[in-house]
């Protein structure tokens, strides 16, 4: 039974890596395109992509938290997953209120361990 959960955690780690790179890329694009005179609208397609990826990352951390709890993992691992889940909610709110002057979601993502 532990093998199934460890494979699931490895899969979650791979998904986290892909989501991080996706968020970084599109957050920087969103910030960069806000400076173009042809793209001054508030409906930036990159912003919606970043927000969707942030939501997926929140769901991934929630799944990791539940998996760790089910397999009775070490306390610090469970606390880290729960803390990352809460940080993701803050980053999602920060992205929604972003003025596109800096890559806020990308920089805030560095808090996640």
Query: Tens digits of per-residue pLDDT, 40-54?
Result: 556 678 888 999 999
Q: Is 51 helix (H, G, I), strand (E, B) or coil?
A: helix
Tokens encoding 24: 């970084």
In Å, how far are 3, 45, 46, 99 from 70, measured between CA atoms?
Answer: 13, 38, 36, 40
Can you give the pTM of this predicted structure?
A: 0.82
Per-domain boundaries in the chain: 2-111
103, HSE (Cβ side, Cα atoms, 13 Å) = 16
Q: How confident is the prediction for the chain on average, in pLDDT?
A: 83
């Amino acid at each position: 039974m532990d093998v199934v959960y460890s494979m699931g955690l490895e899969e979650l780690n791979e998904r986290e890596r892909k989501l991080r790179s996706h968020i970084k890329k599109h957050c920087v694009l969103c910030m960069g395109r806000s400076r173009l005179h042809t793209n001054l609208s508030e409906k930036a397609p990159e912003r919606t992509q970043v927000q969707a990826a942030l939501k997926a990352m929140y769901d991934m951390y929630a799944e990791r938290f539940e998996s760790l709890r089910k397999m009775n993992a070490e306390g610090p691992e469970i606390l880290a997953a729960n803390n990352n889940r809460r940080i993701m909610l803050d980053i999602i709110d920060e992205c929604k209120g972003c003025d596109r002057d800096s890559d806020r979601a990308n920089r805030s993502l560095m808090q996640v361990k």
